[in-house]
Amino acid sequence: YRAKQLGRNTLQHHDGDSSGLGMPRGEQEELHQAITCDQLFLEYQPQVDVATGRITGVEALVRWNHPAKGRVPPVNFIPLAEETGLIVPLGLWVLNEACRQARSWQDMGLAPVTVAVNVSAKQFADPDFASHVAEALERNRLQSRWLELEVTESVVMQNAERALAMMEQLRAIGVRLSIDDFGSGYSSLAALKTFPFDRLKMDRSLVEALPGDKTAVAIASAVISLAQTLKLSVLAEGVETDAQMDFLRHAHCEEAQGYHFSKPVSPEELSRMLQTRLP
Ligand code: C2E
Ligand code: MG
Ligand code: MG
Ligand code: MG
């Protein structure tokens, strides 16, 4: 799979569009190079079954190994990628790399886990997105049930009709769809009833104040039971403490992700974790 070709086409495509945004030209060129010159890599953060402690899935998180600055976190380049349109080839690289890695773990004989990939608004608005997903699965001989796509509310609310049509195409392929960062910023319950999500990821900001803060407890409990009522599985993000885990266990939250279990790690480290996981 050639990210180089993709990047080249897309730069031509978006070159004109982005010149008016006032983005420093150099940074844009650098990000383009990151995509075409193999400077991006993925780390994987385990997602854990709250009741058993087993790893059930991983979230793929992109990083940039900048030739001069070293390791750059996604908050420092995803916004630029979104503004310039480079998120489309970047996202395609992430999608393919995550599927390739999932295939490679399965080939190692490890018990399969779901791999979740973050999808941005521009990718989701691309009419070819569903076929890119199908191609990535096929190319890597990965069953669709092992791929999960994470989108935030703002992605689906931007153009509800178009988003719904895209979600239906993706569901037909058989991938899982999750709503990311639920409860961050403004949240509308409409998104949950309108769109066919499989899973709700409760934002770290709601988990942070657990279990000491009474309001946080009330909100987190409400979100968990809302998910159950709507038949969505529910995962708590940003879990860092034993006390938060105790709360989540009692509130019947199904899964958790956070530094309490592991920070995002290399694929090698993750395969070690999968090897030693309890049966
Ligand atoms: P996200 O999708 O909500 O990912 C979770 C973020 O929370 C990750 O930050 C992760 O490292 C961090 N995190 C996990 N557990 C904890 C915890 O216990 N405590 C704290 N304080 N943080 C925790 P990261 O990797 O820096 O990514 C930030 C955001 O960048 C992601 O938020 C996502 O919105 C975006 N992003 C990352 N990779 C991609 C990608 O491949 N494509 C797109 N479109 N966006 C991406
Ligand atoms: Mg995410
Ligand atoms: Mg999130
Ligand atoms: Mg987030």
Task: Tell me what pLDDT residue 34 has.
Answer: 95
3 state DSSP class of 1: coil
Please tell me the distance from the alpha carbon of residue 133 to that of residue 130, in angstroms, as a whole number: 5
Indicate the pLDDT class of residue 11, thresholds 50, 70 and 90.
Answer: very low
| Residue environment code for 76-88, b if the CB has 16+ CB neighbours within 10 A, otherwise e | ebbebbbbbbbbb
Local confidence band at 147 (pLDDT 50, 70, 90 cut-offs):
very high
Structure tokens at 204: 């770290």
**What pLDDT does residue 188 have?**
72
The answer on pLDDT for 7 being more than 80 is no
Q: Is 61 in the pocket of ligand 1 (CB under 6 A)?
A: yes
**Quick one: tokens of 36?**
């075409």
pLDDT digits (tens, 9 = 90+) for 58-84: 999 999 999 999 999 999 999 999 999
Cα 265 to averaged position of ligand 4 atoms, centre (Å):
17
Reference 32, options 57, 2, 12; nearest CA is: 12
Residue whose CA lies nearest to ligand 1 atom number 34? 118
Q: Which ligand is nearest to the CA of 74?
A: 1
CA of 180 to the centre of ligand 2 (A): 6
DSSP one-letter code for 112 = P
CA 223, chain centre distance (Å): 20
Q: Does the beta carbon of 17 lie inside 6 Å of ligand 1?
A: no
Among candidate residues 267, 234, 275, 274, the one with its CA nearest the CA of residue 61: 267
pLDDT recorded at residue 164:
96
ipTM of this complex: 0.98
pLDDT digit string, tens, across residues 112-134: 999 999 999 999 999 999 999 99
Mean per-residue pLDDT for 252-265? 98
Counting ligands in written order, the one closest to the CA of 45 is 1
Q: 3-class SS at 47?
A: strand
Q: What is the pLDDT of residue 185?
A: 73
Asked if the model's pLDDT at residue 152 lies above 60, the reply is yes
pTM of the predicted model as reported, rounded to 2 decimal places = 0.93
Span 211-231, mean pLDDT?
Answer: 95
Those residues whose C-beta lies under 8 Å from the C-beta of residue 220, and which sit 6 or more positions away, are 202, 206, 207, 210, 236, 247, 251, 253
